[in-house]
């Protein structure tokens, strides 16, 4: 395994992070425990979860993933071996079953205390805001939703002051963003500096070979402001494994069970790009999964690459991508495909 540090901290984290969002729906508690055992054995010390998991988010599965992680901590005693990240759910219809006051002081307090209880731990190493409460272009929204974005405003100062209180209590160690924009990220940094409040260490956004929009503005923010990217959906919800090529819908696959998860990654342009990436991987004797993940692993603005799997064989292949170093030739060929099909997935 390769390691880096969370920006502006002394916390060492693996370049591969274990994603957990299927545990409690597609995966059982036993599956989750098996994945954590294997990942830790292979040097993965960074786990990411969220209060709303498992996905799709429902009242019935709310908090189930954190409970699975908590039961594993209790069974194994491995809490001190893991850098644990979790998130508070953003506001909106999708999470109305969780709470309606978003990132209010009351909402943050409730979210942290409940997550700590489910996770059976006294602290969370990295606590993240899952998505902004204002309208932004994420989750398949390609363009800025200017008609609705101004109807909601973020209470940045209250959020940071509330999180500072929990840091002082030792219940969270560091804080981060998710699904944020350059403006939102810089706004938090400005308020942190002006009010001597905790600084955002990371940002968890979508990035993959067919969705590289992070490079439009956020990559520069990451590098100049030292905010590390935690990549989610690096395989575009499995599309970049090739298993959905030619209209296939494998039994039990996430895209088969929940088609909305992969719809944004199956545009005509995205499907053409996947065909070209498959040819490229075959040419160099590696799987498209390994190539897709290895490309992300070596990007300079990436702190960790969040991989998720529903089977242990998938997990093994994903983790093994850390051992693959792509040559300049392959990277040039990847970028040539990207130039032909720039960001076909929203």
Q: Per-residue pLDDT tens for 195-204?
A: 999 999 999 9
Within its chain, how far is the Cα of 238 from the centroid?
14
pLDDT surpassing 70 at residue 10: yes
Cis, bond preceding 183 (omega within 30 deg of 0): no
* Contact yes or no for 17/3 (Cβ under 8 A): no
The residues annotated as belonging to the active site are 53
pLDDT surpassing 80 at residue 341: yes
Residues whose CB is less than 8 angstroms from the CB of residue 260 and which lie 6 or more positions away in sequence, other chains included: 56
Neighbours of 142 (CB within 10 A): 13
Indicate the range of 85-94, 117-126, 258-267 predicted with least confidence.
258-267
Cis, bond preceding 56 (omega within 30 deg of 0): yes
pLDDT surpassing 80 at residue 135: no
What string of DSSP letters covers 8-34? TS--EEESEEEE-TTBTTTB-HHHHHH
pLDDT at 207: 97
Residue 270, token pair as written in the block? 């995205």
Could you tell me the pTM of the whole model? 0.95
Provide the β-strand partners of residue 229. Answer: 203, 302
The overall average pLDDT reported for the chain is 94
Residue 153, token pair as written in the block? 């405003």
**How are beta strands 3-5 and 12-14 bridged, if at all?**
antiparallel
Domain ranges of the chain: 3-238+299-324
pLDDT band (50, 70, 90) for residue 284: very high
Neighbours of 287 (CB within 10 A): 17
Helix axes 64-76, 29-41, angle to 10 degrees: 60
Measure Cα distances from 297 to 27, 119, 257 in Å: 26, 28, 29
| Sequence-ordered strand ranges (E) for 140-248 | 172-178, 200-206, 228-232
User: CATH topology for 3-238+299-324?
Assistant: TIM Barrel (3.20.20)
pLDDT at 137: 74
pLDDT surpassing 80 at residue 152: no
- As a whole-number percent, the residues of the chain with pLDDT over 70 amount to 98
- As a whole-number percent, the residues of the chain with pLDDT over 90 amount to 83
pLDDT band (50, 70, 90) for residue 94: confident
Measure the N-to-C terminal CA separation of the chain; round to a whole number of Å: 31
Residue 273, token pair as written in the block? 């790009």
Radius of gyration of the chain (CA): 19
pLDDT surpassing 90 at residue 227: yes
Backbone angles phi, psi at 61, to 5 degrees: -100, 0
């Amino acid at each position: 395994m390769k390691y880096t540090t969370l920006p502006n901290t002394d916390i060492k984290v693996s370049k591969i992070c274990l994603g957990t969002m299927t545990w409690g729906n597609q995966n059982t508690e036993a599956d989750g425990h098996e994945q954590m055992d294997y990942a830790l054995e292979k040097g993965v010390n960074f786990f990411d979860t969220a209060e709303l998991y498992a996905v799709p988010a429902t009242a019935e599965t709310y908090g189930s993933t954190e409970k699975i992680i908590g039961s594993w901590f209790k069974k194994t005693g491995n809490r001190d071996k893991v850098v644990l990240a979790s998130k508070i759910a953003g506001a909106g219809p999708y999470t109305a079953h969780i709470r309606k006051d978003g990132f209010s002081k009351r909402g943050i307090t409730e979210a942290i205390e409940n997550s700590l209880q489910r996770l059976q731990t006294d602290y969370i190493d990295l606590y993240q805001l899952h998505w902004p409460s204002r309208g932004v272009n994420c989750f398949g929204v390609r363009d800025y939703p200017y008609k609705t974005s101004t109807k909601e405003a973020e209470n940045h100062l209250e959020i940071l002051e509330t999180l500072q209180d929990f840091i002082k209590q030792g219940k969270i160690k560091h804080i981060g963003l998710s699904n944020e924009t350059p403006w939102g990220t810089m706004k938090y940094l400005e308020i942190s500096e002006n009010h001597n409040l905790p600084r955002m260490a990371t940002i968890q956004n979508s990035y993959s070979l067919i969705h590289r929009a992070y490079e439009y503005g956020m990559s520069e923010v990451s590098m100049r402001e030292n905010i590390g990217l935690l990549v989610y959906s690096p395989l575009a919800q499995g599309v970049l494994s090739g298993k959905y090529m030619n209209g296939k819908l494998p039994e039990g696959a996430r895209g088969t069970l929940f088609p909305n998860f992969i719809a944004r990654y199956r545009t005509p342009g995205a499907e053409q790009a996947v065909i070209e990436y498959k040819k490229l991987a075959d040419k160099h004797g590696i799987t498209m999964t390994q190539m897709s993940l290895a490309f992300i692993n070596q990007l300079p603005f990436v702190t960790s690459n969040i991989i998720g799997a529903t089977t242990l064989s998938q997990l093994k292949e994903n983790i093994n991508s850390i051992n693959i170093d792509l040559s300049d030739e392959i990277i040039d060929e990847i970028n040539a495909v990207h130039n032909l099909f720039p960001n076909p997935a929203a």
